[in-house]
Amino acid sequence: MSHDNISQLGEFGLISRLTTSVTTGQGVLTGIGDDAAITQLSPGMQLLTSTDMLLEDVHFRKRWHDPYSLGRKSLAVNLSDIAAMGGIPRWALLSLGIPPDLTLDFLDEFSAGFLAMATEHGVTLIGGDTCSSKAGLTISVTIMGEQYPQQIIRRSGAVCGDEIWCTGTLGAAALALQLLEGGAGRTQENEAIMTRLLDPAPRVSVGRALSEAGLVSAMIDISDGILADFGHIADLSGVGGQLFAECLPLPGEQCQIGQAEGRQARERALTGGEDYELCFTARPDNHEKIASLAKKCGVAATPVGIVTDSKNVVVCDSHGTPLDMSRGGFNHFS
Amino acid sequence: MSHDNISQLGEFGLISRLTTSVTTGQGVLTGIGDDAAITQLSPGMQLLTSTDMLLEDVHFRKRWHDPYSLGRKSLAVNLSDIAAMGGIPRWALLSLGIPPDLTLDFLDEFSAGFLAMATEHGVTLIGGDTCSSKAGLTISVTIMGEQYPQQIIRRSGAVCGDEIWCTGTLGAAALALQLLEGGAGRTQENEAIMTRLLDPAPRVSVGRALSEAGLVSAMIDISDGILADFGHIADLSGVGGQLFAECLPLPGEQCQIGQAEGRQARERALTGGEDYELCFTARPDNHEKIASLAKKCGVAATPVGIVTDSKNVVVCDSHGTPLDMSRGGFNHFS
């Protein structure tokens, strides 16, 4: 369908079309349709709020990202922030700047993907904004969640001697981006890898379970590579850390690869963006409970390092020898 | 300064620079710097949330909007939504998509304006997102406020026989836009009119005072002209209304103008955008209390019509005769 259809709908017609299948949820008193949404926190809980902007040709490309997955991902990257706090996601706002050449089909698919991800996580769309964009598609999502104060996990709680953990596997999204930038299309063979970039699964249930069980001391979601993101935990906790390169959980497809490729896979695991896994720290005596709880949530959790009282975060080989790299990525000096 | 400076700062340097003068406020437990902000509602209050996106060359032009005022306005249009609910604004999120040619000076001024508006209204900036934009400057703001349930004013409460009121004067922002589009610059003579478009004052204190005094039945902010915006109240309340063209409060500069210009001024008052005044309905026996409370808040409040049990919103002349127009604007048939 053509842009004329979007114009003919008008803003209110468009909002009504995009929100037809919005259902109401926990704590929602007035959703879309007034000057502001009205919601109510669960008794004793505090509010968690985060927002992300996704711009066409900066964060996504229409030729790589199908609209349904893009809708899902727009919410997923926000859900990941609530997961990293140990929170329960509740409500979302979606603003769209719509370029003249965008089709109504694209918007319908985008909206279906966004709302499917919302439903999977018990989130209600309670508001937003739509306007026309003279440039590319502009997406801004705000997510709100809640949790009891004592179960909210900050970045600042890591303690020397804690183990450093991550969920899932690391580096797949960066590999997918590398493949797409190299001109590869989506195939049956690379679909699992591509999905990690194009339709990431936010670790909401494991994040919440770990925090509610009182097992973790600090947590962050991995959007810029575990080296940089654990670095934020280290900075805010006033600690350092050792990450063990050989412990990093690589995607299954990359387990049986040669030495040179193995090094690249570990680089991607350390510094690749958009994995949306969780990195957390925990006392060593919680080790077994964490492994078992993550398993119950259907997600692997892998110990990948140790919190130290140094001021630095270093990557070590299997002998404990620091590898030559900085937080921003490997330094290819050697 | 050049874009290089923004690049050299990096995302974290930029965030730190833009948020240096952020102070903490009511209910803020953790602001900027974790995966999500943590806040706490006042006991017994509900959460009010709204969001607006402002795109360069759609909602603003850099040659008309100085960065300081643009920063103020980005928050003001959101504050106006909280005002329309009778709410108390508390927390804001600010996301910026920054084009390569934007200077650091521009960003500093923008941020100073945004934070000045925040301080004036007791709002704390608790989070956001910054990224580079391949197109124009992209601004997305989310505002959160709170209020006791019984004092939140919806669009849906208007009752037949209620008076229709508006705050301030109407049509000045549309006149300012017309002048700018006609090539006029900002001068000492037109500064008052220009300010209404470029640096609007959200009616937070009068909106809150009216709702807390229990005087109003429905409320909305006027962003698309009172005809369309009262139309939303009418639709959601299941009522109609008569707006009296000669009662519309015009900006002072336009009081002593001829008949043709007077008609244009009334058209702008009815259908012009971006006034950010409040339109509300109230029982006639609240008339004196409303006038006096608004005066106490330093804002004029003018009765401009009456809620009817018809399905239509009509504009009438001084004889009660409907004028020839539609909600979308005057029909210039006659």
Could you report the per-residue pLDDT of B14-23, keeping only the tens digit for each? 888 878 778 7
Residues of A whose CB is below 8 A from B221: 35
Output the pLDDT for position B331.
39
B11, B29, B35: best to mutate for the A interface, most A CBs within 10 A: B35
* Long-range contacts (CB closer than 8 Å, 24 or more residues apart) made by B100-106: B100/B3, B100/B132, B100/B134, B101/B3, B102/B3, B102/B6, B102/B137, B103/B1, B103/B2, B103/B3, B103/B5, B103/B6, B104/B1, B104/B5, B104/B6, B104/B9, B104/B17, B105/B1, B105/B67, B106/B62, B106/B67
State the Cα–Cα distance between residues B241 and B311, nearest whole angstrom: 8
Output the pLDDT for position B259.
58
Output the pLDDT for position A10.
78
| Residues, chain B | 334
Residue in chain B closest to A278 (alpha carbons) equals B35
Residues of A whose CB is below 8 A from B86: none
In tens, the pLDDT along A187-219 reads 998 999 999 999 999 999 999 999 999 999 999
CB B99 within 8 A of CB B134: yes
Residue B256 pLDDT greater than 60, yes or no: no
In terms of Cα–Cα distance, which of B219, B212, B237 is closest to B80? B219
State the Cα–Cα distance between residues A178 and A247, nearest whole angstrom: 23
With H, G, I as helix, E, B as strand and everything else as coil, classify residue B186: coil
Residue in chain A closest to B143 (alpha carbons) equals A36
| Inter-chain touch B84–A152, beta carbons under 8 Å | no
B86 Cβ contact partners less than 8 Å away, ≥ 6 residues apart:
B147, B151, B152, B153, B207, B208, B210, B211, B212, B216, B219
Residue B2 pLDDT greater than 60, yes or no: no
Output the pLDDT for position B321.
87
Residues of B whose CB is below 8 A from A48: 36-38
State the Cα–Cα distance between residues A236 and A233, nearest whole angstrom: 5
User: How close B128 gets to chain A, by Cα (Å)?
Assistant: 6
State the Cα–Cα distance between residues B128 and A49, nearest whole angstrom: 9
A141–chain B Cβ distance below 8 A for any pair: no
What are the C-alpha distances in Å from B162 to residues A60, B85, B220, B237? Answer: 50, 18, 15, 12
Output the pLDDT for position B319.
79
Question: A218: how many CB neighbours lie within 10 A of its CB?
Answer: 27
- B47 forms beta bridges with A39, B146
| Inter-chain touch B50–A37, beta carbons under 8 Å | yes
Residue B254 pLDDT greater than 90, yes or no: no
Burial of B119 (0-12, 13-18, 19+ CB in 10 A): middle
Residue B327 pLDDT greater than 50, yes or no: no
pTM of the model: 0.93
Output the pLDDT for position A202.
98
Q: Can you read off the two tokens belonging to residue A80? A: 């990941």
3-state helix, strand, coil in chain B (%, to 5): 40, 25, 35
A128–chain B Cβ distance below 8 A for any pair: yes
Residue in chain B closest to A233 (alpha carbons) equals B34
Interface size A-B, in CB pairs within 8 Å, comes to 186
Output the pLDDT for position A24.
83
Rama region for B27: left / alpha / beta (φ>0; ψ in -120 to 50; rest): left
CB B132 within 8 A of CB B213: no
Q: Can you read off the two tokens belonging to residue A301? A: 């959790």
CB A143 within 8 A of CB B48: no
In tens, the pLDDT along B97-151 reads 999 999 999 999 999 999 999 999 999 999 999 999 988 999 999 999 999 999 9
| Inter-chain touch B41–A41, beta carbons under 8 Å | yes
| Inter-chain touch A46–B34, beta carbons under 8 Å | no
Query: What integer is the mean pLDDT of B191-220?
Result: 97
- Domains by residue range for chain A, with CATH: 3-151 (3.30.1330.10), 155-330 (3.90.650.10)
Output the pLDDT for position B166.
98
CB B128 within 8 A of CB B95: yes
Of A30, A33, A95, nearest to B51 by CB-CB distance is A95
In three-state form (DSSP H/G/I as H, E/B as E, the rest C), the secondary structure along chain A is CCHHHHHHHHHHHHHHHHCCCCCCCCCEEECECECCEEECCCCCCEEEEEEEEEEECCCECCCCCCHHHHHHHHHHHHHHHHHHCCCEEEEEEEEEEECCCCCHHHHHHHHHHHHHHHHHCCCEEEEEEEEECCCCCEEEEEEEEEECHHHCCCHHHCCCCCEEEEECCCCHHHHHHHHHHCCCCCCCCCHHHHHHHHCCCCCHHHHHHHHHCCCCCEEEEECCCHHHHHHHHHHHHCCEEEEEHHHCCCCHHHCCCCHHHHHHHHHHHHHCCCCCEEEEEECHHHHHHHHHHHHHCCCCEEEEEEEECCCCEEEECCCCCECCEECCEECCCC
User: How close B234 gets to chain A, by Cα (Å)?
Assistant: 13
State the Cα–Cα distance between residues A144 and A165, nearest whole angstrom: 26
Q: Can you read off the two tokens belonging to residue B204? A: 């937070």
Residues of B whose CB is below 8 A from A50: 35-37, 127
In tens, the pLDDT along B222-232 reads 999 999 999 99
Output the pLDDT for position A2.
43
User: Which 50-79 residues of chain A touch chain B by CB within 8 A?
Assistant: 50-53, 55-59
User: How close A34 gets to chain B, by Cα (Å)?
Assistant: 6
Output the pLDDT for position B97.
95
| Inter-chain touch A133–B58, beta carbons under 8 Å | yes
| Inter-chain touch B49–A37, beta carbons under 8 Å | yes
Residues of chain A scoring pLDDT < 50: 1-3, 255-256, 327-334
Q: Can you read off the two tokens belonging to residue A91? A: 């409500």
Q: Can you read off the two tokens belonging to residue A326? A: 């900085």
A29, A35, A85, A134: best to mutate for the B interface, most B CBs within 10 A: A35
Q: Rounded to a whole number, what is the distance in angstroms from the first to the last CA of chain A? A: 55
User: How close A275 gets to chain B, by Cα (Å)?
Assistant: 15
| Inter-chain touch A138–B138, beta carbons under 8 Å | yes
B84–chain A Cβ distance below 8 A for any pair: yes
| Inter-chain touch B35–A220, beta carbons under 8 Å | yes
Q: Running DSSP on this structure, what letter comes out for residue B44?
A: T
- The interface pTM score, or ipTM, of the predicted complex is 0.92
With H, G, I as helix, E, B as strand and everything else as coil, classify residue B1: coil
A12, A14, A29, A47: best to mutate for the B interface, most B CBs within 10 A: A47
More confident residue, B259 or B59: B59
Query: What integer is the mean pLDDT of B285-294?
Result: 98
Of A80, A140, A156, nearest to B95 by CB-CB distance is A140
Residues of A whose CB is below 8 A from B219: 35
